Amino acid sequence: MLERLTKAALTAAMLAGSAIAASAQEYTLRATANSNENDEDYDGLVVFKNYVENASNGQIAVELFIGTQLCSGGAECLQGVADGTIDIFVTTSGGAAGIFPYVQVLDLPYLMANDRVAEHVLSGDFTRKMRDMALADSGDTIRIMTIGNTGGWRNFANTQKRVTKPEDLAGMKIRTVVADLPQELVKTLGASPTPISWPELFTSLQTGVVEGSKNGITDIMNMKFPDAGLQYVTLDGHAYMGAIWVMNNQAFLGLPEDLRRVVVDGFAALQQATFASPKRKSIAAYEEFVEGGGDLYVPSPEEKEAFRAAAEPVYEWFKQNVGGGEEIFTALTDAVNEAEAELDAAYDADLN
């Protein structure tokens, strides 16, 4: 009898708690990512949801839609954000380039040297500059909240041979997304850009439609590309794989100021989670790649400088051919210079 009463009391308490939470909930944010639960984007959203729901004391509920439940690609999802049918979405620069071409600045090669520089840059005024540009171009509907990471760094990988210098890429068919900048980079390095959709890449590598790609190691291993013949990876780290997190501007501005602060802090926590997740996941991915017979090559500083010098014409092409290109290029390079100066000062303080 006592046990039954205890269970009944517990059930009543749980229901009461649910009722309180439901009555306290005033706002719902629908967040989506076209990925899966093994992805850094998902890690970030879980952290965001947990932080925002707790810090708002239940006033904000965050609903997660992983995959293509709400929309199937960058353009469609961004339109959903603009329309307000989706509150939060994460896109790559390639996915957003059709609407905001200048976001491709994140794909410019060899501008950010390492994680510390990239994380410093993306946590500061550079992201706010890109936010202002996107708001202006979307009629104040799409607000960039933060820029995180999705997969570490892009490296050249191929099925043919070890690549130690730009000339080794000559004539090689390299998979790119449809966006202009990645194609221009591949052409500048003497290879042949071949736009292929992500789901078709495994078969394209297997059949020789393409001979290489520009990917992070976690994507390479998650998609089992070594089974399709991708056996050579050169760690040139030519581009940081930025993830652009956007929110419907009216959904954000419609929150009281204290809850807007909670959402901003939630995106800061999300950003930190996506900065950290690829670092951990890449350890096992690199080990698996090498254990499976993969050839992992680390260029020397001199070799990396040769890649950078060969790719330099892409900077001028970007400034001249991309709307807003010169403005955002200046913003990025200024932010990189500032980050490097601050890190140099930190080294001086920490090494002595």
Q: What is the mean pLDDT of each run of 10 residues along the chain (352 residues)?
A: 38 41 78 91 97 98 95 92 98 92 96 97 98 98 97 96 97 91 94 92 97 95 96 96 97 98 98 96 96 97 96 97 96 98 97 92
Q: Is there a contact between 164 and 188 (Cβ–Cβ < 8 Å)?
A: no
- As given in the structure block, the two tokens for residue 304 are 């990396």
**Position 17, amino acid:** G
Whether the CB-CB separation of 191 and 173 falls below 8 Å is answered with yes
Distance separating alpha carbons of residues 294 and 228, to the nearest angstrom? 12
CB-CB contact of 151 with 92 (8 Å): no
Burial class (CB in 10 A: 0-12, 13-18, 19+), 319: middle
For position 12, what pLDDT does the model report? 42
Q: What is the pLDDT, as a whole number, of residue 330?
A: 98
The predicted structure's pLDDT at residue 198: 84
Backbone angles phi, psi at 212, to 5 degrees: -165, 175
Q: Packing angle between helix 313-321 and helix 180-188, nearest 10 degrees?
A: 150
Q: How many CA atoms lie within 13 A of 77 on its CB side?
A: 28
Pairing between strand 192-195 and 173-176? parallel
The predicted pLDDT at position 3 comes to 39
Res 19: pLDDT: 40
- C-alpha to C-alpha distance for 244 and 223, rounded to whole angstroms: 22
Q: What is the pTM of this model?
A: 0.90
Q: What pLDDT shows up at residue 38?
A: 85
Q: How far is CA 137 from CA 48, 51, 253, 299, in A?
A: 27, 30, 18, 40
Q: How far apart are CA 188 and CA 309, in angstroms?
A: 11
Q: Rounded to an integer, what is the distance from CA 283 to the centroid of its chain?
A: 18
- In a 10 Å sphere around its CB, with 0-12 CB exposed, 13-18 middle and 19+ buried, how is residue 345 labelled? exposed
Output the pLDDT for position 21.
47
What pLDDT, on a 0 to 100 scale, did the predictor assign at position 340?
Answer: 98
* Integer-rounded Cα radius of gyration of the chain: 22
Q: How much is the pLDDT for 267?
A: 98
The β-bridge relationship of strands 173-176 and 295-297 is unpaired
- Tally of residues, the chain: 352
Return the structure tokens found at 299. 């260029």
Give me the residue spans of the domains in the chain: 25-323
Q: Would you say the C-alpha torsion 349, 350, 351, 352 has a positive or negative sign? A: positive
- CATH superfamily, domain at 25-323: Bacterial extracellular solute-binding protein, family 7 (3.40.190.170)
